[in-house]
Amino acid sequence: MGTLKPSTIRIGRRYRASRLEDNYDAVVIGSGIGGLTTAALLSDLGWKVCVLEQHYTAGGYTHSYDRNGYEWDVGVHYIGDVGAKTRTRMMFDYLSGGKLKWAPMDDEYDRFYVGDKTFCAKAGKQQFRDNLISQFPAEEQAIDRYMDLLAQVGKGLTAYSMNKLLKPWQRVVAWPYLKLKIPALLFRNTYEVLSELTSDQDLIAVICGQWGDMGLPPKRSAFMVHAMIARHYLYGGFYPVGGSWKIAETIIPKIQKTGGEVFTYALVKQIVLQGQQVTGVEMADGHHIKCNCVISSAGIDNTFCRLLPEEAVNEAGYQPLLKRVQPSMAHLGVYIGLQETAEQLGLPKTNFWIYPGNDSDAAVDGFMKDPEAPFPVVYISFPSAKDPDYERRHPGTATIEIVAPAPLEWFEKWRGTTWGKRGDDYEAFKAELGERLMQYLYEKLPQLEGKVDYYEVSTPLSTEYFCAYQYGELYGLDHDPVRLQQNWLGPRTRFKGLWLTGQDVLTCGVTGAMMAGLLTTSAIIGMRKSGTLLKRIFN
């Protein structure tokens, strides 16, 4: 393989110990949307915040990269709930000072290929329902009951988030009330809930057609997360104009305004403690940054298994808790460039979800046992078609992205090797996987055969290298019913001055991690000041 040219998209400032100041009010580990949100909100209250990101560019899973004249996103394909003045939209507007713009996808934002049948989801609550009924006319009653369940979950979510915000003693006091507000439905198994409504397996497969958005098929996931995602996209999908890197780019100025900074190439080696009190962080270059408020957005695994001293984690009683959560599935990515525009190629603003049949759980099991079995899900997205600004930046070209699961074990033998230099056998294996996934694309869009100019494949090892997820996991922790009932997964920790944020605190997704940023900020500043902040954001 020839040497890969590094990406030119760089957001944030390169870390040097000499560029640090000595009086930060807070240090944030990781510059994903969770970390950036917390940093920006604290900065807005006058805090001076230092964000430390190990990657060469800021944004975590919202970063983009370019190569050979093309540009791709690694962890953002569509975001819901931003087409009207919703809470999600108000948060993005507040954080970006109104600079982040959104482009709607097609009315048919998701298309589901289930075996040899094709279904879709359409934007708008009523249209979503009517469209489902038009595809399953005999299931009107079940579909209406399903829509009611989505509404029920919606009502329970505020109480669920409030519960995360409370101190343990407050939770004890508030629990009799919260218990009434958080329906047990939230923690039930998705498939079980749906099979009480209908026995039509195709309908269940279509209702669960977005399971790839949280990485667990219906028999393993919690209904709460299924419903959150379904509700999130009910009014359609939207794409950040200019590419997903615009998210970090538009938020960072808020952090810099009060003297803070977002440093890249800034690997944190350790969270430093004195007893149970946080006193700062130690960088990979040995430099100490003193600060008694440290916020980790690096995920539970990184925070508790890599950044905190093992002894302290044990003493604080975290070991048995950590056993209750697992990493989400690892994934492959294919990043494709074409020398014609999306319009010329007839690329839609619709995501494709390709399933071998209507039993995704069986398909996942089959695939884990036999790597030659069909991929249990293949997701195809058309970023340049969705981005009205793409043509200006990269005239005459188009891009496509494919995501599919892949067990980390397949790549075990190359662990510890360096990116770009993992060897010919690794490249050959990647080429084989890439070829397999490209066939899914050509089958659905045969006009693309012979039109692809360039493509490259990422593996769970790429995710580990660039995004610091040691298991190549897509979405942090798995969203099973047990994980969602872990009260310790919240902004607070048992270490004084250490806070958590990001996708492991609430749920995955850009919005889930952003809302975790708001929750963490509220926990840090306290209820009274939060009231003022909330008024400012949601005015």
Interface contacts to ligand FAD, rule CB under 6 A: 29-35, 52-55, 60-62, 75-79, 266-268, 297-298, 302, 307, 331, 403, 467-468, 474-475, 502-503, 508-511, 513
String of b and e for 140-172 (b: at least 16 CB within 10 Å)? eebbeebbebbeebeebbebbbbbbbbeeeebe
- Distance of alpha carbon 502 from alpha carbon 225, whole angstroms: 16
Of residues 183 and 236, the one with the C-beta less far from ligand FAD: 236
The nearest distance, CB 73 to ligand FAD, in angstroms, is 8
Of residues 29 and 150, the one with the C-beta less far from ligand FAD: 29
Of residues 197 and 246, the one with the C-beta less far from ligand FAD: 246
Tokens standing for residue 148:
């009611």
Of residues 114 and 298, the one with the C-beta less far from ligand FAD: 298
Task: Determine contact, residues 402/235, Cβ cutoff 8 Å.
Answer: no
Backbone angles phi, psi at 257, to 5 degrees: -60, -35
- Distance of alpha carbon 254 from alpha carbon 500, whole angstroms: 21
If we measure between CA atoms, which residue out of 9, 16, 12 comes closest to residue 285? 16
The nearest distance, CB 351 to ligand FAD, in angstroms, is 8
The nearest distance, CB 192 to ligand FAD, in angstroms, is 25
The nearest distance, CB 39 to ligand FAD, in angstroms, is 11
Tokens standing for residue 86:
């919703």
Residues 6+ apart with CB under 8 A from 365: none
Of residues 32 and 156, the one with the C-beta less far from ligand FAD: 32
If we measure between CA atoms, which residue out of 402, 383, 399, 401 comes closest to residue 338? 399
The nearest distance, CB 106 to ligand FAD, in angstroms, is 15
Q: How many CB atoms lie within 10 A of CB 476?
A: 28
Of residues 156 and 502, the one with the C-beta less far from ligand FAD: 502
The nearest distance, CB 336 to ligand FAD, in angstroms, is 14
Of residues 174 and 267, the one with the C-beta less far from ligand FAD: 267
Put residue 433 in one of left, alpha, beta given phi > 0 → left and psi -120 to 50 → alpha.
alpha
The nearest distance, CB 79 to ligand FAD, in angstroms, is 5
The nearest distance, CB 333 to ligand FAD, in angstroms, is 6
How big is the CA angle at 143 (ends 137 and 146), to the nearest 5 degrees?
170
The nearest distance, CB 57 to ligand FAD, in angstroms, is 9
Task: Determine contact, residues 486/478, Cβ cutoff 8 Å.
Answer: no
Of residues 19 and 179, the one with the C-beta less far from ligand FAD: 19
DSSP state at residue 455: E
Tokens standing for residue 177:
């009330």
Of residues 54 and 397, the one with the C-beta less far from ligand FAD: 54
Residues 6+ apart with CB under 8 A from 192: none
